[in-house]
Amino acid sequence: MKFSKVFFVLFALLVTLPYFLSAVETKYEMELWNRMTYIDDDSKTDPTTSFSVERGYFSIKPKLSENISGRFTLDLFSSDNDSNGAGLKMKYAYLDFKNLFHLPKSQLSIGLTKNYFATVYSWKYETIEKDPSDLWKFASSTDYGIVFSSSVPVAKLSYNFGIYNGEGYKKSGEKVNSEYAYLANLRIKPIEKLELGGSLSLNSKHDPNDELGEDNIEHQSITSFAGIGKFKSNGVTLLGQYLGKRVELDNVDDSQDVSSQAISVLGMYDLTTIANINLELVGRYDRYDPNTDNESKDDKTSLILFGTNYYLQKNIQIQANYSITSHEDDTKEDISVLMLQLRWSFANLLSN
């Protein structure tokens, strides 16, 4: 680690250390996703059906003082082709320090924390399918780093500035990149029903064990950006976003650089506005192009999804999604997926 990085980390710890106190209360939470998946892949002879515990979030959320709180979350699952029938990942492990330097609405998050890119940090799985940034590999949902967040209430504006490892939460040790990723995120509500925003991420990929250093043509400079618009009124929610990414290889011809983009539109209607039923209707359309510079290649992918979200009660939800993934490339077959999911959670608060 370079001296500048060491200094930065030490400075952050020294600033936040005086706020550290013993826990005054601790909240324990568990969220489980029991899922049935039916996949009809035209490239295979027979459809497949499977049951899984797709996610089991176990969280500990200590409140250490009025200005300090934390979160530690383990992600347990039975999918991802794990040969042992179950897997385990650390999803969150961070402390939030609020109202730093007497700035209202300010917060400093340190650890394995949210990635404030596009909607991946605020995605509540309105569809069973992942957030577009996560699905099309524009951003990981969490990453190791430091994030400063704040807002300007009078302007209805919020913002985040983060420094991350850049690989997400699944890599560690020698697999972690030797260079940081930098992120800026902005949201503004010009009127109560409308929210606009954008994100920018600057990242570099370089093997820390490669002695060739910057002369290595595999060294990548990655610029990711997003534009978001959200409208919500009378039970109707419309969310649109544009995602873009430019990957540049150093010391090679520009023709080898790759640009990709995705467009996603999500629509929801809450039937509680017209009927006494806790049911949401959901529709989503994604269009992903992995290489916008090569128009001659038919490699675009489209996702069309329809679904429902039914709430038995606040902490028990039944979701149903039917999606079709199609390709412009005639050598790739369409994939139809039906997913039924029971999401349920419980929590317990312990006070000292």
Going by their DSSP bridges, the two strands 335-351 and 194-205 should be labelled as unpaired
Kindly state whether residue 216 falls inside one of the protein's structural domains.
Answer: yes
Q: What phi, psi does 85 have (nearest 5°)?
A: 85, -5
Q: Using alpha carbons, list the distances in angstroms from residue 225 to 22, 149, 235, 266, 295.
A: 40, 18, 29, 19, 21
The residue to which tokens 């400093």 are assigned: 108
What's residue 23's pLDDT?
Answer: 66
Residue 127 token pair: 């569809």
In a 13 Å sphere around the CA of 21, the CA atoms on its Cβ side amount to 13
Residue 145 CA to residue 5 CA, distance in Å, equals 12
In a 13 Å sphere around the CA of 297, the CA atoms on its Cβ side amount to 9
Kindly state whether residue 3 falls inside one of the protein's structural domains.
Answer: no
Query: Does the predicted TM-score (pTM) go above 0.85?
Result: yes
Q: Which residues of the chain have pLDDT under 50?
A: 1-6, 19-21, 83, 211-216
Going by their DSSP bridges, the two strands 181-191 and 258-270 should be labelled as unpaired
Residue 72 CA to residue 22 CA, distance in Å, equals 16
Kindly state whether residue 14 falls inside one of the protein's structural domains.
Answer: no
| CATH number, domain with residue 121 | 2.40.160.10
Residue 191 token pair: 């009127």
Domain span at residue 319?
A: 23-351
Kindly state whether residue 329 falls inside one of the protein's structural domains.
Answer: yes
Kindly state whether residue 2 falls inside one of the protein's structural domains.
Answer: no
Kindly state whether residue 4 falls inside one of the protein's structural domains.
Answer: no
By C-alpha distance, which of 278, 333, 275 is closest to 301?
333
Overall domain count for the chain: 1
Residues 268, 271, 277: CA angle, nearest 5 degrees: 135
What's residue 212's pLDDT?
Answer: 44
Kindly state whether residue 16 falls inside one of the protein's structural domains.
Answer: no
Give strand pairing partners of 170: none
SS3 9: helix
DSSP classification of residue 79 = -
What's residue 106's pLDDT?
Answer: 94
Residue 146 token pair: 């430091």
Strands (E), the chain: 25-41, 48-63, 68-77, 87-98, 107-114, 142-152, 157-164, 181-191, 194-205, 220-233, 236-249, 258-270, 279-289, 301-313, 316-327, 335-351
Residue 35 CA to residue 262 CA, distance in Å, equals 27
Q: What is the 3-state secondary structure (H, E, C) of 190-251?
A: EECCEEEEEEEEEEEECCCCCCCHHHCCCCEEEEEEEEEEEEEECCEEEEEEEEEEEEEECC
Kindly state whether residue 235 falls inside one of the protein's structural domains.
Answer: yes
